[in-house]
Amino acid sequence: MELRQLKQLLVLSETLNFHRAAERLHMAQPPLSTAIKKLEQELGVQLFERLPGGLQPTPAAQVVLRYARTTLFYAEEIRRAAREGASGEQGVLKVGFVGSSTYSLMPRLLSEFRKDFPRVDLIIEESTTIDLLRRLDAHTLDVALVRFPVLEPTAARVTLLQPDHLMLAVPADSRHARSDDVALSDLADEPFIGYSRTHVPGMHALVMYAFQQAGVVPRIAQEAIQVQTILSLVESGLGVAIVPAVARRQAGSNVRLVNVSQLAETIKVGIALAVHPDNATPTTANFVDMACRLMPVEPACANAA
């Protein structure tokens, strides 16, 4: 039994005339008659009664036709799925992200991708940059939004999408809250909330390097992983912290972000797109192309996947 025979059966049931059915199928009548007879023999039932006024489907044909329509529908769905899968218009995309990407970048990217590729199932998972890079290398993620710069060893290609700079987060009642600019040397006596050396080694190293350059050994009062957690600790009065400027969108009413010109001039940070070069699926390529169109990035972004 072939799909071609089922289509011939369906057209014949609609026209109830071999001549008209053959015309619709763009074939001669004798081959159509032979095909239907062969199908009847294969099924072991008569599908049409030959009456003086034309053909009439038998009760067996009514049942067969119901399944034939379903089979032809799913056959076309398979063809369409194959076409969309080859073009990246259908499938699954696993996206990892760091918490600070949710302030503005990730919602924009996911919204645009969902609009352009509504039949792609998005699986999004939050983690740290170091874990996301490991998962990209292990091919358990397709793309990831990570903190930039990336200091961890990885085979992934990393492209800066959203440049940013670092600022000082202080409680609203801090003596620094009303300053236009703060020097790192002014923070020597302040309790400092830093990034976890184990879970966020990149940001930890950047901040410690900046203090070292300023000749300051920060008095670490607490360490945390996520920027939002650090902001909450600052708001609770446990200390001051260095955070990306984009975090001002999530800072509470009792937190102030103050410029630190030393950091803005010497350390470039942001959110980057990371993709493993071996992950060349059409769906991944579509996400990378979309991200590069939306963001003011360098031309190399086009080669990220």
pLDDT one-digit tens code per residue, 6-33 = 888 888 888 888 888 888 889 898 888 8
Beta bridge partners of 291: none
- 95 or 51, higher pLDDT: 95
The answer to whether 72 touches 10, Cβ cutoff 8 Å, is: yes
Q: What does pTM read for this prediction?
A: 0.66
Residue matched to tokens 């799925």: 81
The predicted pLDDT at position 303 comes to 47
Q: What is the pLDDT of residue 239?
A: 94
- How far CA 7 is from CA of 68, 88, 163, in Å, comes to 8, 29, 57
The CATH number of 3-87 is: 1.10.10.10
Q: Could you tell me where in the chain the CATH 1.10.10.10 domains are found?
A: 3-87
Query: How confident is residue 234, by pLDDT bands cut at 50, 70 and 90?
Result: very high
Query: In CATH, which of 3.40.50.720, 3.40.1010.20, 3.30.70.980, 3.40.190.10 is domain 166-266?
Result: 3.40.190.10
Rounded to whole angstroms, the Cα distance separating 277 from 157 reads 7
| pLDDT above 70 coverage of the chain, percent | 92
CATH number of 91-162+269-303: 3.40.190.10
**Please, where in the chain does CATH 3.40.190.10 lie?**
91-162+269-303, 166-266
Q: State both tokens at 213.
A: 């350059």
**Pairing mode of beta strands 91-97, 269-275:** unpaired
Q: Are 80 and 72 in contact, with CB atoms under 8 Å apart? A: no
As beta bridge partners, residue 57 has 48
What pLDDT, in 10s, does the model give residues 163-200? 999 999 999 999 999 999 999 999 988 999 999 998 88
Burial bucket for residue 115 (CB in 10 Å: 0-12, 13-18, 19+): exposed
**pLDDT at res. 301:** 58
Tokens of 44: 């072991």
Q: Which residues contact 174 (CB under 8 A, 6 or more apart)?
A: 240, 256
Average pLDDT over the chain, rounded to whole? Answer: 87
Read off φ and ψ for residue 135, nearest 5 degrees: -70, -35
